[in-house]
Amino acid sequence: MKYLLTVLGFISTIEENNSQSRESSSWCTPEQIEFHCHNRIISALSDRLYDVYHAIKSAKELWNLLQGEYGIDDAGIKRFNASTFNKFIMVEGKAISDQIHEFQDHLRAVEENGSKFSEDYKVSCLIDKLPPSWWLDSGANELRGLEMEKRLRG
């Protein structure tokens, strides 16, 4: 959509720092550019989204709302990174050191997006993601978990 608005010369309506000024268009007034830009954006929406956003009269406000809600931004990446971190579990047939590095990579990706975790939480997550063979069958999982936590910290 942004490409189309640029080609048509309407991009100055929705972008603040554009080298092309609203007044530079000799074939349309700024009000006409606003009108065309707004209606191009509205006409590209699905019926469901049109019903939600049709009352917004400013092209810039409409664009910013849509970008904030549906634009390709870091929010999707953040959710993806957090989801892959949550779904990650260690398996039996792979070297534990490789899996710990993979765990650290997932954790780093989530932290790069602004999330901060305490060391206790990181250790707890790592313990929860360990393969089943690391746990005792005798039911002393809690004790084994505390022993493991001490070893991982040390």
- Give tens-digit pLDDT for 100-117: 899 999 999 888 878 888
Residue 130 burial (CB count, 10 A): 19
Number of structural domains the chain divides into? 2
Lowest-confidence pick of 78-82, 84-88, 110-114: 78-82
Residue 134 three-state SS: helix
Residue 60 burial (CB count, 10 A): 16
Question: Is the pLDDT confidence value at 5 over 70?
Answer: no
83 with 42, same domain?
no
48 with 79, same domain?
no
- Sign of the Cα torsion 113, 115, 117, 122 reads negative
89 with 30, same domain?
no
Contacts of 77 (CB under 8 A, 6+ apart): 113
| Contact by Cβ (8 Å): 41, 63 | yes
10 with 25, same domain?
yes
> CA-CA distance, 51 to 124, in Å (whole number)?
46
Residue with tokens 């970008």: 67
Residue span of the structural domain in which 42 resides: 2-70
Q: What is the pLDDT of residue 103?
A: 92
Give residue 134's pLDDT band: very low, low, confident or very high (50, 70, 90).
confident
Query: Which of 6-10, 28-32, 69-73 tops mean pLDDT?
Result: 28-32
